[in-house]
Amino acid sequence: MADQITDTTKSRLIHYATHLGDNALILGHRNSEWCGHGPVLEQDIAISNIALDLLGQARNFYQYAAELTGNGATEDTLAYLRDVPDFKNTLIAELPNGDWAQTVLRQFFFSAYQYYLYRQLQKSGDAQLAAIAEKAWKEVSYHLRWSSEWVIRLGDGTEESHERMNRALDLLWTYTGDMFIPEAYETEVFAVDPARVKADWEQKIKQVLEEATLTVPENTWTQSGGKKGIHSEHLGYILAEMQFLQRAYPGAAW
Amino acid sequence: MNKEWPLWEIFIRSRQGLDHKHVGSLHAADAQMAIENARDVYTRRMEGVSIWVVESKHIHASNPTEAGELYDPANDKAYRHPTFYDLPDEVKHM
């Protein structure tokens, strides 16, 4: 396959698969921070399940990227041996969890994005990306349902939960635009141009926020840069914790 | 005000054609959340194809102290068991 496509296309495919893996890994790691700290036992398990789903998606994308890269690259070298500027995840994934309102709202924004993205990616001409998207889409459908319900529950809940959702909305909104700014690797034929999922995403967000008695912010200014490798200060801390063992004891295994 | 979410009893059907079986209980704010919690807590390892949830307060149970009057009378009525018939050889699976 490699000799049938140009070097640029191939390197963009690697970047794209890595980017999709980074999105899943970083949010998966954030969600895993809830393990043992969830507001109630059942939701602790729910958010940990979502973390594991995302980790599984990251592995699939990384394995594919590693296979294309060759040179001894593996899913582990991609996860553990790259530094901040090498990560191409969208910014919203790396933001701290905050309270439960912030966590479920971020999950909702992100899952809605993944939902429409993977739905189209299933039709990608790249068979491997299409297959991963098909498998992951079912998981994401549930994440979207779960997070939508929490947004509605808290937004249309008590005075305090409504207030907390509003605070989360103020904080997270300016990070949502980053998901839709296309990088070069997203404009290739194998990829889904995020601009093509934006309308669906906005409609879903509007519908759920309205049901949650929350107002879609009118502010259109957005943070950006995640997909290029320009990150907030938070990603370095995540990597420091996540990569410590492999950095300190290279090749350590169970 | 009681801030605890109500308790729900969870029933899972493990395969098509089988009965729903009681698997445990959990807390949830409403039926929808109970189903999702049950999905996350009890079906993570492919245990189920269908979930029923019933709020625990709606389960009416027999009283263990009444076991004598409820169940003992059945003990000495062997004739209620269809074991005294001679079955023709042609009848299988009885």
> Per-residue confidence at B48, pLDDT binned at 50, 70, 90?
confident
Residue B1, pLDDT > 60, answer no
What CATH number corresponds to the domain at position A36? 1.20.1260.10
Of the two residues B68 and A207, the one the predictor is more confident about is: A207
The nearest CA of chain A is from the CA of B17 a distance in Å of 25
Tokens found for residue A184: 């070069």
Report the pLDDT value the prediction gives residue B81, as an integer from 0 to 100. 75
Domain B1-59, what architecture?
Roll (3.10)
Give per-residue pLDDT as tens, A48-73: 999 999 999 999 999 999 999 999 99
Chain A residue with CA closest to B37: the answer is: A42
pLDDT band at A96 (very low <50, low <70, confident <90, very high): very high
| Full residue range of the structural domain in which residue A54 is found | 2-248
Whether A233 maps to a domain, the answer reads: yes
A253 assigned to some structural domain: no
Do the Cβ atoms of B26 and A153 come within 8 Å? no
One-letter identity of residue B65: T
* pLDDT tens column, A184-205: 999 999 999 999 999 999 999 9
Does residue A254 belong to any structural domain of this protein? no
A contacts of B36 (beta carbons < 8 Å): 46, 145-146, 149
Looking at chain A, the number of H-run helices and the number of E-run strands are 8, 0
Q: How far is CA A7 from the centre of its chain?
A: 27
Q: What is the residue extent of each domain of chain B?
A: 1-59
Task: Report yes or no for ipTM above 0.95.
Answer: no
Average pLDDT, integer, range A233-245? 97
Best to test chain A binding among B33, B43, B44 (most A CBs inside 10 Å): B33
> Considering chain A, what is the average pLDDT of its residues?
95
Length of chain A: 254
Contact assessment for residue A83 and residue A91, using Cβ atoms and an 8 Å cutoff: no
For B8, nearest residue in chain A (alpha carbons): A42
Q: How many domains are there within chain A? A: 1
pLDDT tens digits, residue range A122-161? 999 999 999 999 999 999 999 999 999 999 999 999 999 9
Give the residue on B whose Cα is nearest the Cα of A40: B27
Strand order in the sheet with B50-55: B20-27, B7-13, B50-55
Q: pLDDT value at position B3?
A: 77
In-domain check, residue A105: yes
The pLDDT assigned to A101 comes to: 98
pLDDT value at residue B89: 84
Chain B positions touching A146 (Cβ under 8 A) are 36
